Structure 1
Amino acid sequence: MSRASQRIVPQHVAIIMDGNGRWANARGLPRTFGHRKGVETVRETVKAAREAGVGFLTLFAFSSENWRRPEAEVNELFGLLKAFIRRDLADLHQASVRIRIIGDKVNLREDIRSLLLEAEERTAENRGMTLVIAFNYGSRDEIARAAARLAREVQAGRLDPCDIDAQKINDSLDTAGIPDPDLVIRTSGEERLSNFLLWQSAYAELMFVPDFWPDFTAAVFDMVLERYAARDRRFGGLSNKVVAVGS
């Protein structure tokens, strides 16, 4: 048995895919080239995650704050998402990958919304890795929508306010039914969560890598998984690792 097969693998990995534009700028290319190269990295990372035994992979594809970008760039991102789903959905389905979409779908263009729903419905019965795409997603917005959902239940008399606890909130989030991330990765050297899975990442291990997203290879991913396996996750308790006397 290889060392890789023996190491601890996170059940759920979430990635903030950052640095497409800066990758392109560093090469004197338009930002759109960085986004296109980033889609290739998505394909490679999904494959690497499946081969590593990761059960859930969440990718931050488009944040609710990304609407502030120039319209042309937003349209490019939408076009790349559509191209990715149309090109890769059949292969993902054949590999038994289940697709889940999180984020606010209400204000999306109908063509985007219908395509995302189609991807979810077509792969709903798959039992392989779950690929979670965070699109038009912001964690504060998600929590606010969950709170409003619970408030409506209280107003309708179906829920006692005293019964609202952490589990009720968790079950009202977009990620209901998905385990919390064990590992959150951000590329490009930035060291912040940027409104991504704030509730769910309470006990996640955080890894910040200097590589721009288009340079995030399978080898870099494997290195991050190796670093994760060496972490001592205590969840507020004592270490499970043997500590030498006097240390």
Structure 2
Amino acid sequence: MSLDAAAYFPDTLASASDVDAPASASSPVMVQPNSGSASPAIAIYSPLRESTDEDLLVQVGKGSKEALSVLFQRHARAVLSIARRILRDDCEAEDLLQELFLFIFQKASIFDAAKGSGASWIIQMAYCRAIDRRRYLSFRQHYNGEELDEDRLTGHQGRISIDGLAGRALLEKLRRELSPEQIQTMELHFFEGYSFHEIAEKTGRTFGSVRNHYYRGLERLRSHIFPGKRITK
């Protein structure tokens, strides 16, 4: 593994696949998910840092740990922020961060640039995985009986700024894949920060109808990322 890759990988990523040489006392320190950066003393310039996210994902699909480390530098902070807002548990959020980038290392080849940007793919996966993990933890009563309120989790105070993090690529994808009602609901929810109740008032639809449009739209989007898996309400 290159020094650059080792410096920016979480521990589990570094140990999850073969490395080029055994660890030694002089091996670089692994970055921890909550630190967000590596020591400047061991950060080495790589031409890959000039690559687009899409090109980096292609390289990761070919097994490049260095390309993955660059993606980690770019997007770890945003992924961790999403996970913390939804899970409200730092340890769980850090675990999800590492699991997501390990998944990217193993499955980057399924990314399709024709369906959206690399950044939107990573952010959407972070959102879907965090919601799934929250559901699982709620089922296991991790939150002391508190119900999963996705309207609150993804509403105005906790919404994911996909527009800011990943540009307008996801919006264009919405227009191609979803019905007009689904497009309107997800635009208002994702990009303008309206809660489901606010969308219902604004559009004249029932709360149940808004939720239905949202989840059906999210399912159609997610089917491109996790084929064979469904979102359950």
For the criterion TM > 0.5, the same-fold answer is no
Q: Which has the higher helix share?
A: 2
Higher relative contact order (CA 8 A, sep 6+): 1
Q: Shorter chain as normaliser: what TM range? A: under 0.3
Taking structure 1 as the reference length, the TM-score comes to 0.26
